[in-house]
A and B are shown apart, each in its own frame.
Chain A
Amino acid sequence: MTERLLAPFTAIGRAALSLASGIGRWGVFAGDTVRSLRHVDVWGRLLLEQMSRIGADSVPIALFISTFTGVVLALQASYTFTGAIPMYFVGVLVGKTMMLELGPVLTGLALSGRVGANIAAELGTMRVTEQVDALETMAYPPLAYLVAPRVLAGIIMFPIVTVLAVGIGVVSGWLTSLQLLDMSTAEFLRGLTLFFRPFDVVFTVIKATSFGLIVTSIGCYFGFHTRGGAAGVGQSTTRAVVASSMVILVLDAFWAVVLL
């Protein structure tokens, strides 16, 4: 009876323990990856390819999301403000929200599905088919060959994709204001620039960089430690997406607390 009552608590305790040890193992993995950076000759030639796969190929999905987000933000702002607050505040809300929150977070979440899942599945397959071992036997340090270029590409490309997404989101918010809200360009721009601080851009970039690190390194971590054939690959992929999405949301709050 008492066991039954305690079950949820033991479950929570276990989950907490496995979370803590998971974070620890990820930390060791990240440290080893940093050390593998000394093999520039191994990862150097692979970086461009990964930048294009992780960054360039992600632009369409990021722009798709931010376009619609921009529309919705403009409409919701006008719906909220009408009659109470001058309409140029639509520009304030679109700009600030895109930059500080929705641009980085939605891009991060979308890319954790696209990039993180892809990395986990690819490395997981390589692991279970012994391609990772094959790299080792041919004297390619697997962390330098597989992980370093992906994580570096994520760190470099996520901010670029995010800034593009923010830009497109603002443009779509502006066009929405012109077409659907009877605002003028001057009004929208006034709002956009009113509370703008250069630090907003820094904040966007810091967030996006950290999300790039998280999505790619977690994808690599789960992929690299895959076990047990096709089922194992599926499991790693799911775990990578779930874990990186959660970490993105936690980090998002963390940056808000620390930097704002």
Chain B
Amino acid sequence: MSIILDDVYKAFGPHEVLRGFSLEVRDGETLVVLGESGSGKSVALKHMVGLFSADRGEVWVDGRKLRDLPTEELYELRRGIGYVFQFAALFDSMTLEQNVGMGLRRIGGLSEQEIAKRVEECLAVVDLDGLGARYPAELSGGQRKRTGIARAIAARPKYLLYDEPTTGLDPVTKAVIDQLILRMKKELGVTGVVITHDVDSACLVGDRIAMLYRGRRRFLGTPDELKATVDPVVKGFIEGRPELMEETE
């Protein structure tokens, strides 16, 4: 069981963002997607939960084609996927507890006490226990990100999709989040997809790393293979040397 993007095309008006992007997320792994800002990483990730639907090509989750899925089944399937948004996307009219409990309330079948207990556990996992009564506006950037992660894991999903979890954080907070991603995999056994443009984070948390470039997959391999690559585009990206990436298609 896995998430598969198969030859996905997506354009916004004349702007072709994905042009035949393919990717298979294997069960249990953490797959990192690298790419420049604006290269379409978030767009690709959103395809995996059906927030966008491909112009061409297919997206499969656990053997089911998202395109053919009735809304109810899509919602059902989304319960197995936690999504960590780039800027956390917390509901600012709600406390942290309410934010983290949102998904659980929707699932139903849980009493208020059970929800409260689960919420407390999730906040503890991301070291925010005791802050449940705060509002998002009262938090630091790192705390918001961690709340976003707590909210994503609340329904005990099989998959966790992280959109730039460490972008814009100071080095210490960044390390905390990277460790958290590793723990999610080890302790909760989740399959992860991590989007980033940070090569160090990518090599630390990723079992495999893909690079999205001009709408297609330019590279796929282990961190060691990434470091040993001879592809000038990939090399230019990881070494921060744009002159190497200058090439015609």
Contacts and interface: CB of A to CB of B under 8 A. Distances in A.
Given A133-B46, A133-B51, A139 B87 contact: no
Interface of A: 126, 129-131, 133-134, 136-141
21 contacts: A126-B91, A130-B85, A130-B86, A130-B87, A130-B89, A133-B51, A133-B85, A134-B83, A134-B90, A136-B49, A137-B49, A137-B51, A137-B83, A138-B103, A138-B106, A138-B155, A139-B79, A139-B103, A140-B106, A141-B71, A141-B75
Contacts of B106: 138-140
Interface string B76-94: 1011011101110111100
Given A130-B87, A134-B85, 17 more contacts: A130-B85, A131-B91, A133-B46, A133-B51, A134-B90, A136-B51, A137-B51, A137-B78, A137-B81, A137-B82, A138-B102, A138-B103, A138-B106, A138-B155, A139-B75, A140-B102, A141-B75
A137 B89 CA distance: 11
A230 to B, nearest CB: 13
B75 A129 contact: no
B46 A134 contact: no
B85 to A, nearest CB: 5
Contact of A134 (B50, B81, B91): B91
Contacts of B79: 139
A69 B90 CA distance: 43
A129 B91 CA distance: 9
A137 B102 CA distance: 11
B163 to A, nearest CB: 9
Interface residues of B, number: 25
Contacts of B91: 126, 131, 134
Contacts of A130: 85-87, 89
Contact of B78 (A126, A131, A139): A139
A130 B90 CA distance: 9
Contacts of B75: 139, 141
Contacts of B89: 129-131, 133-134
Query: Which 5 A-B residue pairings sit nearest by Cβ, starting from the closest?
Result: A139-B75, A130-B89, A137-B83, A138-B103, A134-B89
User: Which of A131, A134, A137, A139 has the largest count of B CB atoms less than 10 A from its CB?
Assistant: A137
Nearest to B152: A137
A134 B163 CA distance: 12
Contacts of A140: 102, 106
A131 B86 CA distance: 11
Contacts of B51: 133, 136-137
A140 B102 CA distance: 9
A216 to B, nearest CB: 18
A153 B140 CA distance: 35
Nearest to B107: A139
A126 B88 CA distance: 12
Nearest to A125: B92
Contacts of A131: 89-92
A136 B78 contact: yes
Contacts of B71: 141
A138 B85 contact: no
Contacts of A138: 78, 102-103, 106, 151, 155
Nearest to B50: A136
A141 B49 CA distance: 14
B51 to A, nearest CB: 5
B44 to A, nearest CB: 14
A70 to B, nearest CB: 37
Contacts of B92: 131
Interface string B136-158: 00000000000000010001000
Contacts of B50: 136
Contacts of B76: 139
B87 A129 contact: yes
Contacts of B81: 137
A22 B103 CA distance: 34
A130 B51 CA distance: 11
Contacts of A137: 49, 51, 78, 81-83
Nearest to B52: A133
Contacts of B107: 139
Nearest to A42: B106
A134 B92 CA distance: 12
Contacts of B85: 130, 133-134
